[in-house]
């Protein structure tokens, strides 16, 4: 062994190698093999506040829920090892034995109570689906959490609601969120405006040795096509995107044999009129587009989509067997140019290019389009100083009640409510009070179809989540039932 080592040193010297550079290169290769390097438009990180797919990925990375889903989409134990219903209105959760935070300190039920109550205070409008059903949360001891529901617990759907990542356990310090300490798979090590570093939590209840030890995240530029540029990117080893891409890119990736992960159709791109626009006759304009707009022209040169006649894709619980009936009885009274805002993303590029001509052809109206940074879209929605929001959202949430609440009840809502019969938020609250899951699903199907018929939303196409990885990054353990790529399920091999 010593002789071989001496020979290796001699050869290095003889070939004039720079040993320091070689060591540095080796270190970089080792780091690359256990570190995910990716891009993400992260915002002010709060696992309880999910607006974009990036928010969803961060929530899965930094928090864990009481109840989780397995790969077959069945509910299984999360941070709670068991639960017991205490009719008529209580459910008791017992935390796993030996749960620890990333710093080694014990997890307690009172900390979970604090996390849920902080989420409710911080985002009351976004989290109505759960908290409108909850009367009280108490920690009876260090490992027991008891939730009291307003109605019968067996009819509340509380377990399904608690699988949502926004109800995960986060650390609260002096009433504020502290993400440097985590009970989820990762914690935040460093954060700047354009860079984020997560480190693995070896104390996580589902920790595996071949999980990434670190996740390096950079904010991409607004015009950066992550998928198309991936093969020439010397830094990133994983990118998340969508199936919507240039047809030549899709064919090239197939030929090169890149490792990919893709869901079935799980996103919808739609037009959402603002309340101001609806009050000015915008619903009739949206319905005119529904009847006359050539959707295919909007997607010229792209692949990976399916034109949509409904908001939810076929096969999903809220897909209706009865197609929406779009009336042309009302004549649009919109005058002048229509102002459309689009969140900055890869989809914004082709949409901005083709949408004005498509609308002009269908309605004879000029369009002005403003691309808004994704971190600022929520504030613009609150201001309401636009006519139409054009954006994509995820629609394959197994919690159909939470999904409907997100689109209709959050503040600001994507799908606006006005006076009867288009008071969709009030109709949704009524639907949630129905006694059985089947009745709630049926009523919510009617609500989303009615919203489309009323011109409060116009779905245009469905597409899928997609991820591509370079050698060393294994995506094979991520089922396509997942909504996104959980970093905790990526394997470094």
Q: What is the pLDDT of residues 319-335, one digit of tens each?
A: 999 999 988 766 777 77
Q: What is the mean pLDDT of residues 214-221?
A: 92
> 389-443: per-residue pLDDT in tens?
999 998 877 788 888 999 999 889 999 999 999 999 999 999 988 988 899 999 9
> 451-463: per-residue pLDDT in tens?
999 999 999 999 9
Q: Does the structure show a pLDDT above 90 at 213?
A: yes
Please say whether the beta carbons of 244 and 267 come within 8 A: no
- Confidence (pLDDT) at 42: 84
Residue 225 to residues 102, 212, 232, 323, 401: CA-CA distances in angstroms?
35, 25, 11, 35, 34
Please choose, from the candidates 336, 463, 444, the residue with its C-alpha nearest in 3D space to the C-alpha of residue 392: 463
**Structure tokens belonging to residue 44:** 């002010």
> 20-47: per-residue pLDDT in tens?
333 343 334 334 469 999 999 887 899 9
- Confidence (pLDDT) at 330: 67
- Confidence (pLDDT) at 433: 87
- Confidence (pLDDT) at 33: 63
Q: Does the structure show a pLDDT above 90 at 238?
A: yes
- Confidence (pLDDT) at 222: 65
- Confidence (pLDDT) at 230: 87
CA dist 288 and 271 (Å) reads: 13
Q: What is the mean pLDDT of residues 340-369?
A: 90
Whats the size of the chain, residue-wise?
Answer: 493
Q: Does the structure show a pLDDT above 50 at 2?
A: no
Residue 459 to residues 166, 284, 441: CA-CA distances in angstroms?
26, 15, 20
Q: Does the structure show a pLDDT above 80 at 194?
A: yes
Q: What is the mean pLDDT of residues 206-232?
A: 88
**Structure tokens belonging to residue 253:** 């990736």
**Structure tokens belonging to residue 125:** 């409008």
Please say whether the beta carbons of 66 and 143 come within 8 A: no
Q: Does the structure show a pLDDT above 80 at 346?
A: no
Tell me the percentage of the chain whose pLDDT exceeds 90. 62
CA dist 411 and 126 (Å) reads: 7
Q: 455: Cβ–Cβ under 8 A, 6 or more apart, which residues?
A: 273, 278, 282, 283, 284, 285, 286, 287, 290
CA dist 17 and 15 (Å) reads: 6
> 249-272: per-residue pLDDT in tens?
767 777 776 788 988 888 999 999
Q: What is the mean pLDDT of residues 365-370?
A: 93
Q: Does the structure show a pLDDT above 50 at 134?
A: yes
Instruction: Enumerate long-range contacts of 365-369, CB under 8 Å, 24 or more apart.
Output: 365/285, 365/334, 365/337, 365/338, 366/336, 366/337, 366/338, 367/337, 367/338, 367/339, 367/340, 368/337, 368/338, 368/339, 368/340, 369/340, 369/341, 369/342
- Angle of helix 437-453 versus helix 400-408 axis, rounded to 10: 30
Q: Read off the pLDDT band of 223 (50, 70, 90).
A: low
- Confidence (pLDDT) at 411: 86
Please say whether the beta carbons of 239 and 455 come within 8 A: no
Q: Does the structure show a pLDDT above 70 at 280?
A: yes
- Confidence (pLDDT) at 250: 67
**Stronger pLDDT, 159 or 255, i.e. the higher one:** 159
Which has the minimum average pLDDT: 229-233, 311-315, 444-448? 229-233
- Confidence (pLDDT) at 303: 86
Please say whether the beta carbons of 365 and 359 come within 8 A: yes
- Confidence (pLDDT) at 375: 78
Q: Read off the pLDDT band of 157 (50, 70, 90).
A: confident
Q: Does the structure show a pLDDT above 70 at 3?
A: no
**For residue 315, cis peptide bond before it (omega within 30 degrees of 0):** no
Q: What is the largest CA-CA distance in the chain?
A: 91
């Amino acid at each position: 062994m010593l002789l071989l080592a001496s020979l290796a040193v001699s050869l290095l010297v003889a070939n004039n190698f720079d040993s320091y550079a070689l060591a540095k290169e080796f270190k970089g290769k080792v780091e690359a093999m256990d570190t995910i390097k990716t891009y993400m438009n992260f915002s002010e990180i709060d696992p309880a506040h999910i607006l974009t797919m990036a928010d969803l990925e961060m929530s899965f990375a930094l928090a864990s829920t009481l109840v989780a889903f397995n790969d077959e989409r069945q509910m299984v134990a999360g941070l709670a090892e068991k639960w017991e219903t205490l009719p008529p209105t209580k459910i008791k959760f017992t935390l796993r034995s030996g749960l620890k935070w990333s710093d080694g300190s014990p997890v307690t039920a009172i900390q979970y109570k604090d996390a849920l109550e902080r989420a409710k205070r911080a985002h009351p409008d976004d989290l109505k689906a759960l908290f409108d059903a909850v009367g009280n949360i108490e920690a009876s001891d260090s490992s027991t959490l008891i939730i009291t529901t307003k109605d019968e617990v067996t009819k509340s759907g509380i377990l399904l609601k608690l699988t949502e990542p926004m109800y995960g356990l986060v650390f609260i310090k002096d009433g504020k969120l502290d993400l440097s300490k985590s009970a989820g798979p990762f914690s935040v090590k460093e954060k700047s405006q354009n860079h984020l570093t997560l480190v693995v939590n070896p104390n996580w209840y589902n920790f595996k040795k071949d999980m990434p030890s670190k996740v390096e995240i950079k904010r991409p530029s607004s015009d950066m096509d992550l998928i198309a540029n991936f093969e020439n990117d010397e830094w990133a080893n994983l990118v998340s995107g969508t199936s919507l891409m240039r047809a030549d890119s899709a064919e090239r990736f197939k030929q090169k044999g890149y490792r990919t992960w893709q869901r079935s159709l799980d996103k919808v791109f739609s037009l959402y009129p603002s309340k101001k626009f609806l009050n000015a006759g915008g619903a009739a304009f949206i319905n005119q587009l529904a009847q006359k707009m050539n959707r295919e022209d909007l997607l010229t040169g792209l692949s990976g989509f399916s034109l949509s006649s409904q908001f939810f894709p076929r096969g999903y619980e809220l897909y209706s067997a009865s197609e929406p009936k779009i009336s042309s009885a009302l004549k649009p009274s919109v005058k002048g140019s229509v102002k459309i805002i689009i969140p900055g993303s890869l989809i914004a590029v082709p949409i901005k290019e083709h949408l004005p001509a498509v609308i002009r052809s269908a309605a004879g109206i000029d369009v002005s389009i403003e691309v808004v940074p994704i971190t600022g879209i929520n504030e613009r929605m609150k201001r309401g100083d636009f006519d139409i929001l054009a954006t994509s959202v995820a629609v394959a949430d197994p919690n159909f009640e939470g999904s409907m609440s997100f689109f209709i009840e959050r503040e600001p809502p994507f799908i606006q409510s006005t006076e009867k019969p288009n008071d969709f938020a009030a109709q949704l609250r009524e639907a949630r009070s129905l006694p059985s899951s089947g009745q709630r699903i049926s009523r919510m199907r009617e609500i989303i179809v009615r919203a489309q018929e009323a011109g409060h939303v116009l779905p245009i196409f469905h597409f899928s989540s997609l991820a591509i990885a370079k050698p060393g990054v294994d995506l094979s353990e991520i089922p396509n039932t997942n909504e996104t790529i959980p970093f905790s399920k990526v394997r470094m091999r």
